[in-house]
Amino acid sequence: QLPTGLYKKVLVILHDSVLPYMNEPTLMIDFLTVAYGIGGAISLLALNGLFVLIHQHNLEYPDFYKKLYSLLDPSIYHVKYRARFFHLADLFLSSSHLPAYLVAAFIKRLSRLALTAPPEALLMVIPFICNLFRRHPACSVLVHRPGGPEDMSEDPYIMEEKEPSESRALESSLWEIRSLQDHYHPDVAKAAAILNQSLSEIEDDLSGLLELSAYELFDKEVKKKAVDVPLEFEQVRGLFGKKNDIFAEHFTLA
């Protein structure tokens, strides 16, 4: 039993400062799997160590993707370790052998949570979702379903379902991304509109978007050069815009 603060400090450095120097890194399997099951930020930080064990030491974790799916909650777009999580999630979802229902569940859940996400997170997750479509073309039915969301009386996707295979994500459509095409931030609306077109085969580079902050977005907007918009108007000639206005004899425009 470790204090939460110590848990986080250990997990932050475990994957690159501890595991590479251990004779038997597999001894950390129990510690990391327990940490992964705690939830919240501790589970996010445990992903790094688990990735090393899965990738380099053949660790088998039967419910790994189910647990990863359960970590997707509204806080995922606001936590301090957001960049670390999405970097690893990108690696875990890169295999072309993953079943379509699993990837579709991740796409749908990320899209639903995106409705309450800040602009800096949206500019990262929309290209993230586009990359998933490029790797898994079978999921494109979410975008190109005949009739689209207009023909659905309700969304069949079950947000509360913890098992990705039972979420019915493949039966749904991405009305959430369509909603983001009317987002108040023009860059978000532009990014969401890309799903209206055919996606290129080249994946988007997420490296510069994972660490994007609200300050950087604000600074970018402030530094934009203002464009003078020419206006044409008819100069007012009387109090109510009429010639020989009787009110103009008694009142003047300040």
Q: Is residue 4 one of the residues assigned to a domain?
A: no
The answer, yes or no, to whether residue 182 has pLDDT greater than 80, is yes
The answer, yes or no, to whether residue 15 has pLDDT greater than 70, is yes
244-253 average pLDDT score: 67
Q: Is residue 11 one of the residues assigned to a domain?
A: no
Q: Residue 248's pLDDT band (boundaries 50, 70, 90)?
A: low
How many domains does the chain divide into? Answer: 1
Q: Is residue 133 one of the residues assigned to a domain?
A: yes
pLDDT per position as a tens digit, 56-107:
887 777 788 888 898 898 888 888 888 888 888 888 888 888 899 999 999 9
Mean pLDDT (the chain) is: 83
Torsion sign (Cα): 31, 33, 34, 36: positive
Tell me the pTM: 0.76
Q: Is residue 93 one of the residues assigned to a domain?
A: yes
Q: Please, is 22 exposed, middle or buried when counting C-beta atoms within 10 Å of its C-beta (0-12, 13-18, 19+)?
A: exposed
If one compares 251 and 236, the residue with the highest pLDDT of the two is 251
Q: Is residue 39 one of the residues assigned to a domain?
A: no
For the record, the structure tokens of 200 come out as 């290129």
If one compares 108 and 250, the residue with the highest pLDDT of the two is 108
pLDDT at 149: 59
Q: Is residue 71 one of the residues assigned to a domain?
A: yes
Q: Is residue 123 one of the residues assigned to a domain?
A: yes
Residue ranges making up the domain that contains 101: 63-251
How far apart, in whole angstroms, are the C-alpha atoms of residue 40 and residue 42? 6
Q: Is residue 47 one of the residues assigned to a domain?
A: no
Q: Residue 21's pLDDT band (boundaries 50, 70, 90)?
A: confident
